[in-house]
Amino acid sequence: MNAVRKSARWVLLPTLLLLQACGDDEERRKTYTVRFSPQVRQEALTCEGLYTDIGTSRSTLELLDFEMFVRDVTLVRANGERHPLKLEQDGQWQRDTIALLDFEDGTGACRTGGSAEMHREVVGSAPEHDDYTRLEFKVGLAPERNHLDYQVETRPLSHGDMWWGWQMGYKFIKLDVRTPANAAYVFHLGAVGCKGSVGEGYTCASDSQATILLEEFSPEKNQVVLDVAGLFSELDVNKAPNGTSDMMAGCMSIAGDPECPALFSQVGLSPDGSPKALPKTFFRVR
Amino acid sequence: MTRAWQVSVVVAAVAAAGCGDSGPGAPAPYVWSLPAGFPEPFVPEDNPMSEAKVELGRHLFYDVRLSGNGTMSCASCHEQSRAFSDGKVTPVGSTGDRVPRNAPGLANVAYLDTYTWANPVLETLESQALVPLFGEHPTELGLTSRLEEALGRLRADARYAELFRAAFPGEADPVSRTSIVKALASFQRTLMSGTSPYDRYLQGETSALSASARRGMELFFGERAECYHCHSGRHLSNSFRAKGMQRQPVAFFNTGLYDLNGQGAYPPQNPGLYEFTLNVLDQGRFRVPPLRNVELTAPYMHDGSIPTLEAVIDLYMAGGRNVLEGPYAGDGRRNPNKDPLVRPFELSDSEKADLIAFLKSLTDTAFLSDPRFSNPWE
């Protein structure tokens, strides 16, 4: 890293001289950390908590698992200049422009299937400015990356929790909670209606690509809230599936699943997976 | 590790190419035991066959230690004596989840063009393996969150140390998810079944089929019953791929089992190909199962909802099924997406018996106890 930096500096010297002649300066880069905070309204969402007044039936809820892929995390200046974070390549959670966020720590209700490892922030560098006022990012993997290959061993794509073998792709959001009537009420966001092969490439009827734009966000002062009370605000999370028109508790991005439209809406997607206006109920700023 | 893996793959690929050279550690070129008239199957380039992989795969297939909680193996739902089906309507996974589709037999799976009942993206046995091993809804073997635990159990067994090292000689750490998937797929490719009375008849042994079975064969391949349009070729399924063949266009068919809403709806847990195309015309479309050993793979259809071969024939004679009551009531015979070849026809009782006799002539009794495919732990 240091050697690379020295080498880069040396190679850039003539360029810098040329730029000096033009009266310009190289932009200084700074490391920024974008923090994500899963919550239930104002309270932190953890594996040990029992949360009340969730959804239309005002149910209780416990967290079982919560993980999410984000990518192309971009800081936006007041003047509209957009600066994508160049992610720290940590060999574990962040690779290229993709970061895996893991919000469960394997304690309490997350013990079954959980692990102690957590990752609640995205770390990268961008030109240093003190007037970043908006944050933009995409939820999930780009279509060209959303191919499950059993030989992929590189983190974070090797993280089996986010595999969706049935669709030969990945889950973009995996949120599993427990309610009194449902041992697991889930929200699994992913591409649907996929066809193709590793050789030919896949096409999907819905790539489920959500872009999140948050206003009044400064990386130094603010965090992205993931408010689960907001996410489930229009649903009865304690409703058990009836086995005919509703086959599962929650949503696995299946067309015709009655819970999917309300959940897709919270991430800025229409039922068919196309973009729509993002409400400030699940994703918000604090 | 990555480098060693790459070298191993290159060496294996060179050996598989038959260049005549084989360095130390390279797997010997694989010699297939193919029944008469069977072509060599398609094998993906990244997982060339070897005896060592097959043997490792056989051990893994029968080992409950491969499941997350150590209670189920592949063989729990794929029993050799039932031609590797399980006799159940639909299986239950290792943690109690009901799996929505019937466990198929595995005879000649090497030749299928797609895997599981209606999934066009599972094109190899390797990609299919990820579903039972790592799927969560439903959980089958439940490895997702317990992979390291399962790998630890395998590593602790001295027999596995030998098997993995022999199968993946170039790997620094051969006990891995990737090698498990490759070994299981390699073993499954060897599950060849081709010595049934019908096979022997095709090889010229005219006395192998009874007179009744021969009449049934004429019905099967004739224009009245028309079974052969979908159940075609050597494996009696139009889903077929052999070495050198490219993948064929997707072929899934609606046999008129259901129509929940008068517009073609199937039960939501089994929508068929629709799940991948989101095209309502693809509701209820499923891949055609091969029929060898079909006598042993009851109950039938993707959801195991038809108990006997006689009842299957009754369905086809009726041109679909009219479900009179229950949550899936509706007249499948009128399903607008039903394949046009599924249309009513008449068979006398004796003709039905002949057709059944033919279907039973597809039973390969040697396959059911062949030690090459049996549980190595017993």
Which residues are CB-neighbours of B38 under 8 A, at least 6 positions away?
B192, B194, B234
pLDDT band of residue B7 (cuts 50, 70, 90) is very low
Task: Per-residue pLDDT tens, chain A, 286 aa: give them.
Answer: 333 444 444 555 555 555 444 444 567 999 999 999 999 999 999 999 999 999 999 999 999 999 999 999 999 999 999 999 999 999 999 999 999 999 999 899 998 766 788 999 999 999 999 999 999 999 999 888 888 877 766 889 988 889 988 888 899 999 999 999 998 999 999 988 777 766 677 788 888 989 999 999 999 999 999 999 999 999 999 998 887 778 789 999 887 789 999 999 999 999 888 899 999 999 999 9
Q: What whole-number distance in Å separates Cα of residue B285 and Cα of residue B260?
A: 15
Mutate to test the interface with A, among B95, B98, B136, B140 (most CBs of A within 10 A): B136
Longest dimension (CA), chain A: 73
Residue B138: pLDDT over 80: yes
Report the pLDDT value the prediction gives residue B246, as an integer from 0 to 100.
85
C-alpha A132: how far from chain center? 21
Q: What whole-number distance in Å separates Cα of residue A63 and Cα of residue A110?
A: 7
CA angle, residues B120, B123, B14, in degrees to nearest 5: 160
CB contacts, 8 Å: A255 with chain B: 274-275, 278
Q: What is the 3-state secondary structure (H, E, C) of B206-234?
A: HHHCCHHHHHHHHHHCCCCCCHHHCCCCC
Enumerate chain A positions whose Cβ falls within 8 A of a Cβ in B: 112-115, 148, 150-151, 153, 160-161, 163, 165-168, 186, 188, 192-198, 202, 205-206, 243-248, 252, 254-257
Higher pLDDT, A112 or B121: B121
CB contacts, 8 Å: B127 with chain A: 148, 150, 165, 168, 198
In A141-282, the DSSP E strands lie at 163-164, 169-170, 173-178, 185-189, 192-197, 201-206, 210-215, 224-227, 250-251
Report the pLDDT value the prediction gives residue B2, as an integer from 0 to 100.
36
Q: Which of B147, B269, B276 sits opposite A194 (nearest CB)?
A: B276
Q: Please state the φ and ψ torsions of residue A205, each to the nearest 5 degrees.
A: -60, -35
Residue tagged 């897709």 (tokens) = A264
- Flag if B121 and A167 touch (Cβ within 8 Å): yes
CB A192 within 8 A of CB A255: yes
- Flag if B144 and A163 touch (Cβ within 8 Å): yes
Q: What whole-number distance in Å separates Cα of residue A254 and Cα of residue B278?
A: 9
- Flag if A206 and B278 touch (Cβ within 8 Å): yes
Report the pLDDT value the prediction gives residue A13, as an integer from 0 to 100.
53
* Mean pLDDT for all residues in chain B: 91
pLDDT band of residue B9 (cuts 50, 70, 90) is very low
Instruction: Tell how strand A59-77 and strand B252-253 pair up.
Output: unpaired
- Flag if B119 and A192 touch (Cβ within 8 Å): no
Whether chain A has a CB inside 8 Å of the CB on B9: the answer is no
For B140, how many CA atoms within 13 A lie in the half-sphere containing its CB? 24
Q: What whole-number distance in Å separates Cα of residue B68 and Cα of residue B146?
A: 5
- Flag if B135 and A165 touch (Cβ within 8 Å): yes
For helices B147-155 and B158-167, give the axis angle rounded to 10 degrees. 100
C-alpha B303: how far from chain center? 15
CB A286 within 8 A of CB A225: yes
Report the pLDDT value the prediction gives residue B17, as an integer from 0 to 100.
40
CB contacts, 8 Å: A256 with chain B: 268, 271
- Flag if B177 and A150 touch (Cβ within 8 Å): yes
Whether chain A has a CB inside 8 Å of the CB on B203: the answer is no
- Flag if A150 and B129 touch (Cβ within 8 Å): yes
Mutate to test the interface with B, among A110, A148, A150, A202 (most CBs of B within 10 A): A150
Instruction: Tell how strand A283-285 and strand B252-253 pair up.
Output: unpaired
- Flag if B178 and A150 touch (Cβ within 8 Å): yes
Whether chain A has a CB inside 8 Å of the CB on B225: the answer is no
- Flag if B247 and A194 touch (Cβ within 8 Å): no
β-bridge mates for residue B220, sequence order: none
Q: Which of B126, B130, B268 sits opposite A256 (nearest CB)?
A: B268
CB B238 within 8 A of CB B287: no
Which residues are CB-neighbours of A22 under 8 A, at least 6 positions away?
none
- Flag if A165 and B146 touch (Cβ within 8 Å): no
Q: Which of B126, B274, B277 sits opposite A195 (nearest CB)?
A: B277
Q: What whole-number distance in Å separates Cα of residue B173 and Cα of residue A13?
A: 45
Whether chain A has a CB inside 8 Å of the CB on B106: the answer is no
**Tens digits of per-residue pLDDT, B362-374?**
999 999 999 999 9
Mutate to test the interface with A, among B276, B277, B281, B282 (most CBs of A within 10 A): B276
Report the pLDDT value the prediction gives residue A22, as an integer from 0 to 100.
47
- The rounded percent of chain B whose pLDDT value lies above 70 is 93
Type and span of the H or E element at A133? strand A132-139
In one letter, which amino acid is A223?
A: Q
Residue of chain B with shortest Cα separation from A206: B278
Longest dimension (CA), chain B: 66
Mutate to test the interface with B, among A110, A117, A158, A168 (most CBs of B within 10 A): A168
Q: How many CB pairs under 8 A join A and B?
A: 86
Residue tagged 């079975």 (tokens) = B213
Q: How far is B311 from chain A (nearest CA, A)?
A: 25
In one letter, which amino acid is A181?
A: A
- Flag if B121 and A206 touch (Cβ within 8 Å): no
Report the pLDDT value the prediction gives residue B13, as an integer from 0 to 100.
41
Q: How far is A248 from chain B (nearest CA, A)?
A: 9
pLDDT band of residue B197 (cuts 50, 70, 90) is very high
- Flag if B121 and A202 touch (Cβ within 8 Å): yes
Mapped onto helix, strand or coil, the DSSP state of residue A111 is coil
| C-beta neighbour count of B348 within 10 angstroms | 8
In one letter, which amino acid is B53?
A: K
Residue tagged 């990518």 (tokens) = A71
Q: How far is A246 from chain B (nearest CA, A)?
A: 8
Instruction: Tell how strand A121-127 and strand A98-102 pair up.
Output: unpaired
Q: What is the 3-state secondary structure (H, E, C) of chain B?
A: CHHHHHHHHHHHHHHHCCCCCCCCCCCCCCCCCCCCCCCCECCCCCCCCCHHHHHHHHHHHCCHHHCCCCCCCHHHCCEHHHCCECCCCCCECCCCCECCCCCCCCCCHHHCCCCCCCCCCCCCHHHHHHHHHHCECCECCCCCCCHHHHHHHHHCCHHHHHHHHHHCCCCCCCCCHHHHHHHHHHHHHCCCCCCCHHHHHHCCCHHHCCHHHHHHHHHHCCCCCCHHHCCCCCCCCCCCCECCCCCCCCCEECCCCCCCCCCCCCCCCCCCCHHHHCCHHHCCCEECCCCCCHHHCCCECCCCCECCHHHHHHHHHHCCCEECCCCCCEEHHHCCCCCCCCCCCCCCHHHHHHHHHHHHCCCCCCCCCCHHHCCCCC
Whether chain A has a CB inside 8 Å of the CB on B71: the answer is no
A119 DSSP 8-state letter = B
- Flag if B268 and A244 touch (Cβ within 8 Å): yes
Which residues are CB-neighbours of A181 under 8 A, at least 6 positions away?
A59, A238, A239, A240, A249
C-alpha A250: how far from chain center? 19
Task: Tell me how far CA of residue A83 lies from CA of A90, A215, A221, in angstroms.
Answer: 20, 15, 18
Using alpha carbons, select from B94, B78, B97 the residue that is nearest to residue B86: B78
In one letter, which amino acid is B30?
A: Y
Q: How far is B225 from chain A (nearest CA, A)?
A: 33
Type and span of the H or E element at A3? helix A2-21
Average pLDDT over residues B277-288: 93
Report the pLDDT value the prediction gives residue A149, as an integer from 0 to 100.
79
Residue of chain A with shortest Cα separation from B273: A193
Among A111-120, A186-195, B95-104, B177-186, which stretch is predicted with the lowest mean pLDDT?
A111-120
Whether chain A has a CB inside 8 Å of the CB on B323: the answer is no
Q: How far is B331 from chain A (nearest CA, A)?
A: 17
Report the pLDDT value the prediction gives residue A204, as an integer from 0 to 100.
83
Residue B25: pLDDT over 90: no
- Choose from A97-111, B46-60, B235-249 the range with maximum mean pLDDT: B46-60
Mapped onto helix, strand or coil, the DSSP state of residue A17 is helix
Using alpha carbons, select from A93, A122, A94, A132 the residue that is nearest to residue A33: A122
Q: What whole-number distance in Å separates Cα of residue B159 and Cα of residue B166?
A: 11
Q: What whole-number distance in Å separates Cα of residue B165 and Cα of residue B152?
A: 16
Q: Which residues of B213-250 are buried (b: 16+ CB within 10 A; e: fewer)?
A: bbbbbebbeeeebbbbbbbeebbbbbbbbeeeeeeeeb
Report the pLDDT value the prediction gives residue B349, as an integer from 0 to 100.
97
